[in-house]
């Protein structure tokens, strides 16, 4: 579904990403991990459109998209969340989620002003899609609450529900477990798997290793802007280069005096 070929990016002479390639198959949960400064965020932002690659190509379903701005990529059924929650805090939860569903609308500005039957029908459909996304995240009873009044964990789920309401083919998750406790992170993993069950392909950038190893089908590891490994969670756990750069020496190998 997503083909990233030899993308690179430098900032002021610093090579943030150096010729990174990944292939993500339809229906996968694909993890992208690495230590701080490894180039994960820059790679993620190049895929989502916030940063344009200096070199390389990005294709979605065989169509090149590296030249498209973020809103055009959203129209290509690519949705994303952010490391820091981005919600309309003074608006109700339902309206926040409907904002994502509106990207699937077809009525133009004239229809929106005149409010003919087609516009009212579309608005009703958008509301239904938003309500379904809230139900998926267990948020239905909070639909009328102001987003800013929710707990941090609930706000995370609202942002995820908004992305799902877009009905994306590809969902890009930028550290969705940041700031969550263990119970919330475990619940997040269940929710992400439910979303995959809807036919959504997922790219996950995350530091919570229990989450990554528990739900990802394959993982790519970056270090100093380069991909140093790719494989299943079981393969990544025992990869010497990954252990040295990021995961650390397994407890059983550290010895009793470690």
pLDDT at 74: 84
User: Could you report the per-residue pLDDT of 219-238, keeping only the tens digit for each?
Assistant: 999 999 999 999 999 999 99
Domains along the sequence of the chain with CATH: 24-51+67-77+169-258 (3.40.50.300), 89-167 (no CATH)
Instruction: Calculate the average pLDDT of the chain.
Output: 86
pLDDT at 254: 32
Phi–psi pair at 30, nearest 5 degrees:
-110, 125
Q: What angle do CA 79, 221, 12 make, to 5 degrees?
A: 80
Query: What is the edge-to-edge ordering of all strands in the sheet holding 2-11?
Result: 14-24, 2-11, 55-60, 63-64
Evaluate if residue 109 carries a pLDDT over 60: no
Task: Name the pTM for this structure.
Answer: 0.84
pLDDT at 10: 92
User: Averaged over 56-70, what is the pLDDT?
Assistant: 93
pLDDT at 190: 92
Query: What residues are paired with 227 via a beta bridge?
Result: 222
Query: What is the edge-to-edge ordering of all strands in the sheet holding 29-33?
Result: 78-80, 170-174, 201-205, 29-33, 218-223, 226-231
User: Averaged over 124-152, what is the pLDDT?
Assistant: 86
Evaluate if residue 110 carries a pLDDT over 50: no
pLDDT at 122: 67
User: Averaged over 72-80, what is the pLDDT?
Assistant: 87
pLDDT at 255: 35
Assign 136 a pLDDT band (cuts: 50, 70, 90): confident
Higher-confidence residue of 221 and 138: namely 221
């Amino acid at each position: 579904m997503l083909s990233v070929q030899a993308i690179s990016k430098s900032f002021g002479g610093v090579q943030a990403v150096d010729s990174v390639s990944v292939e993500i198959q339809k229906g996968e949960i694909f993890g992208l991990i690495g230590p701080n400064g490894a180039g994960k965020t820059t790679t993620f932002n190049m895929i989502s459109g916030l940063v344009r690659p200096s070199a390389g190509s990005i294709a979605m379903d065989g169509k090149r998209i590296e030249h498209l701005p973020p809103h055009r990529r959203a129209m290509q059924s690519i949705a994303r969340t952010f490391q820091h929650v981005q919600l309309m805090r003074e608006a109700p939860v339902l309206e926040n989620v409907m904002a994502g569903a509106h990207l699937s609308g077809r009525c133009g500005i004239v229809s929106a002003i005149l409010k003919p039957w087609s516009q009212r029908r579309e608005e009703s459909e958008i509301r239904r899609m938003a309500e379904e996304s809230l139900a998926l995240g267990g948020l239905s009873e909070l639909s009328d609450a102001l987003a800013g009044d929710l707990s941090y964990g609930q706000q995370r789920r609202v942002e995820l529900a908004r992305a799902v309401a877009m009905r994306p083919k590809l969902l890009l998750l930028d550290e969705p477990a940041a700031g969550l406790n263990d119970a919330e992170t475990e619940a997040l993993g269940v929710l992400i798997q439910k979303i995959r069950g809807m036919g959504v392909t997922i790219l996950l950038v995350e530091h919570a290793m229990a989450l990554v190893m528990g739900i990802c089908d394959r993982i790519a590891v970056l270090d100093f802007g380069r991909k140093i490994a790719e494989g299943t969670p079981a393969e990544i756990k025992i990869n010497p280069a990954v252990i040295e750069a990021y995961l650390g020496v397994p407890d059983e190998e550290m010895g009793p005096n470690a």
